[in-house]
Copies of this chain bind each other. A is one copy, B any other.
Amino acid sequence: MLHIPALEKLVHELSRLPGIGPKTAQRLAYHILKSKDSFSTQLSEAIQRVQSEVHTCMSCFNYTDRVTCRYCEDSHRNNELLCLVEEPSDIERIESSGAFRGRYHVLHGSISPLEGITAKDLKIPELMTKIDQGIHGDRPQIREVIFAFDADLEGDTTALYLTKVLQGKELKISRIAHGIPMGSDIDFIDDRTMGRALENRVQL
């Protein structure tokens, strides 16, 4: 209880952010209050600006401030490879690896019966259209769909559902590998990861 409505309101709003508990929210609010006016102005303007300028790409549903995003606009990418991700932030993760030069499609979530998120809440109809008509809507050309979903129950469910839905299409379907992370010590790997790493072993 801070007994100052404006301060309590700010703490409340900040604590709605992911990973920010009430204690951290209070610390952040005091920091904002202590800092010069220019910082809070810039922060609040940046929040408003991102909501007014940034929206989803009309083709792949990545975030962009143009009509289509930079990956859709890039004419040097392989139109035969389509990588499915749950969130736009996943694209940045994949891009920074430099290991993929195909196209993306963002589902904006994953199937979660627990949270009541079903296939129709995701960008799956748009995915089907894309697969039927090709990246630029002119002809079918996608040869492989790669699932880059989180390694959790929701990711597994979404992969299972999409595998079923895409059956019958002339497509190779793959999922990014699960296994021992690079640079890690075998001693510290959990049982499920080790199980998967053994199951998916690669012949040399």
Contact = CB atoms under 8 A, between A and B. Distances in A.
Interface string A37-60: 101111111111111011000000
Question: How many protomers of this protein does the assembly include?
Answer: 2
Contacts of A43: 13-14, 16, 44, 47
Consensus secondary structure, chain A interface = helix
A46 B13 CA distance: 7
Interface stretch (A87-95, A144-152, A165-173, A192-200): A87-95
Nearest to A52: B6
A17 B87 CA distance: 25
Which interface residue of A12, A32, A46 has the most chain B CB atoms within 10 A? A46
Interface string A1-35: 01111110110111011111000101111111110
A141 interface: no
A88 B48 contact: no
Nearest to A16: B39
A175 to B, nearest CB: 23
Contacts of A10: 46-47, 49-50
A178 interface: no
A92 B65 CA distance: 43
A70 interface: yes
A201 to B, nearest CB: 32
A157 interface: no
Interface string A83-121: 000011100100000000000000000000000000000
Interface of A: 2-7, 9-10, 12-14, 16-20, 24, 26-34, 37, 39-51, 53-54, 63-65, 70, 87-89, 92
24 contacts: A4-B53, A4-B54, A5-B65, A6-B46, A7-B50, A7-B65, A9-B49, A10-B47, A10-B49, A10-B50, A13-B42, A14-B46, A16-B39, A18-B27, A18-B31, A19-B27, A26-B89, A26-B92, A27-B89, A29-B50, A33-B50, A33-B51, A33-B63, A43-B47
